[in-house]
Amino acid sequence: MTSPLRIGIVGLGTVGGGTLNILSQHAELLAARCGRPVVVSAISARSRGRDRGVDISRIRWLDDPLGMASDPDIDVVVELMGGAEGVARQLVEQALLNGKSVVTANKALIAHHGIALAQMAEKTGAVLAFEAAVGGGIPIIKALRDGLAANRFLRIAGILNGTCNYILTTMWEHKRGFDEVLKEAQALGYAEAEPSFDVDGVDTAHKLAILTSLAYGCAPAIDHMHVEGIRRISLRDMEFAAELGYVIKLLGITSHTEGGILQRVHPCMVAADSPLASVHGVYNAVLAEGDAVGTVLFEGRGAGAGPTASSVVADIMDIARGVRYKPFTLPVAQLACLPFSGMDNLRCSYYLRLSVTDKPGVLAEVTGIFKDERISLRSFLQHSHQPGETVQLVLTTHDTQESAMLRAMAAIAALGSVKEEPHMIRIENI
Ligand code: NDP
Ligand code: HSE
């Protein structure tokens, strides 16, 4: 066997703890598969005294995590603390500039600064690896870079946030409230340090930007993306969705359209028999449509200690084995500057829920607006109680242009009989 690969780990929380666990429990297996041992040379976190659930007493502790970047006994820095700026960014930059390879699960860092970091890695010959940044335990980065490399991608769509999928699934299956279920996801180690990143779609956006980059050979473009989260999704919407034959999921979708690449993150209704409808709890799924391969579906746990650490350790093993690749598949100088499309160009069908006064003429007013915008209705639901009460009116449309739908919604919201802001959910044919 050749010399050991010496790693330094910064961040010993959910993912860092899980990584230490795999490295110690599977040490022999990893050494055999890599042809050399992987040893943890040093660790660092904020609080030295905190119980990590694994024995760290014999591992060298560094109070200053940035010391890892220039430590002569460290070959690879494993950044598992998180954050697009601050110590995480400084650590990764300094390590790469010093020629040390970096493994990270930090999608925020990669989505915002991945190109600059990849340039640093190219300059010094270091590896920058981030399999754990998207899809937790699903090896989707490797799949896009290697296994599906022969394809042009028409669309990539996925459930990319375990916390949101856990919330949506648990709210529906157990009829529980949003806040309560979010707290549970946090306790299970699924949520980001700032959980609004999860529920407001930001985390999904970070991951989608990385997938787009790999699929289309461009730099991650987090600023060219429509992002909505799941805060407005209610049990009532889930009930109507079920009645209409749909399930509500937060999806990240990137597709090649006539206007350019369209990246969007928002709640979607998907048909109850769609493969994405049966992805529950913390599971993620990525559906890739390639021109040669057709549709491929990847599914697995998208968050949590074990699944995420599985991807982190796979990256460490690649480095131990001497596998080398460009972080974004192509050299940075060859990444394309592609046009990005806005949501105005999107065509899909829509679900619209209105709270209206139940009185004669209301439906005619609403459908009149749809007629003016040339939007064709597909279905209509109303569970009426007493005339004069506020009732829920649910309409779905045939495929229509997003811009027409938004104009119609604004006009409907201004009607005197409409009591709350209309709630629209896009229906994704997937
Ligand atoms: P945790 O909050 O559980 O752990 C963060 C760790 O980083 C803690 O050990 C903390 O120290 C340490 N830390 C934070 N700030 C500093 C600092 N300034 N200096 C030194 N150490 C610091 O986070 P996770 O393990 O959940 O997430 C880590 C990364 O992995 C993030 O980028 C996240 O987005 C990503 N990720 C997380 C997944 C998950 O399921 N949780 C899945 C995929 C990716 P201390 O313990 O002493 O407070
Ligand atoms: N907070 C993230 C999620 C962690 O819930 O999916 C995995 O990236």
What is the structure's pLDDT at 1? 55
Ligand 2 contacts (CB < 6 A) are 136, 161-163, 190-192, 198, 203, 302-303
Q: Which residues line ligand 1 (CB under 6 A)?
A: 10-16, 44-47, 50, 65, 80-82, 87, 105-107, 132, 136, 189-190, 192-193, 303-304, 308
**pLDDT tens digits, 225-261:** 999 999 999 999 999 999 999 999 999 999 998 889 9
Q: What is the pLDDT of residue 223?
A: 95
Q: Are 315 and 130 in contact (CB under 8 A)?
A: yes
pLDDT for residue 175 is more than 70: yes
- Residue among 237, 225, 204, 209 nearest 111 (CA): 209
Give the Cβ contact number of residue 146 at 10 Å. 12
In this structure, the residue with its CA closest to atom 18 of ligand 1 is 87
Extract the tokens encoding 408. Answer: 């119609």
Count other C-beta atoms under 10 Å from residue 154's C-beta: 15
CA 107 to ligand 2: nearest atom: 8
Over the chain, what is the mean pLDDT? 96
Specify the DSSP element, H or E, that contains 7. strand 5-10
Q: Best substitution site from 161, 199, 283 to test ligand 2's pocket, by max atoms within 8 Å of Cβ?
A: 161
The answer to whether 207 is a known catalytic residue is yes
- Residue 128 CA to ligand 1 centre (angstroms): 18
Ligand positioned closest to the Cα atom of 192: 2
**Residue given tokens 């429990």 in the structure block:** 25
Please tell me the number of the ligand nearest to residue 162's CA: 2
Angle formed by the axes of helices 362-372 and 402-413, to 10°?
Answer: 150
**Alpha-carbon distances of 44 from 16, 40, 67, 80, rounded to whole Å:** 10, 11, 10, 10
Q: What residues contact 57, with CB distance under 8 A and at least 6 apart?
A: none
Tell me 283's DSSP state: E
**Looking at this protein, which amino acid is placed at residue 125?**
G
Distance CA 116, CA 97 (A): 11
Ligand closest to the CA atom of residue 196? 2
- Lowest mean pLDDT: which of 52-56, 78-82, 295-299, 328-332? 52-56
Q: How far apart are CA 274 and CA 245, in angstroms?
A: 10
* H-helix or E-strand spanning residue 246: strand 246-257
pLDDT tens per residue, range 51-110? 988 889 999 999 999 999 999 999 999 999 999 999 999 999 999 999 999 999 999 999
Question: What is the pTM (predicted TM-score) of this model?
Answer: 0.97
Instruction: Output the CA angle 82-224-89, nearest 5 degrees.
Output: 25
Tokens 């749909």 found at:
246
Average pLDDT in the 325-338 region?
Answer: 94
Domains and CATH numbers, the chain: 5-137+308-334 (3.40.50.720), 140-301 (3.30.360.10), 346-427 (3.30.70.260)
Q: Which residue from 63, 65, 99, 97 is spatially nearest to 83, judged by alpha carbons?
A: 65
Q: What is the distance in A from the centroid of ligand 1 to the CA of 357?
A: 49
With cut-offs at 50, 70 and 90, classify the pLDDT of residue 394: very high
Of the residues 207, 249, 359, 371, only one is catalytic, namely 207
Helical ranges in 245-330 per DSSP H: 305-321
Residue 136 Cα, ligand 2 centroid: separation in angstroms?
7
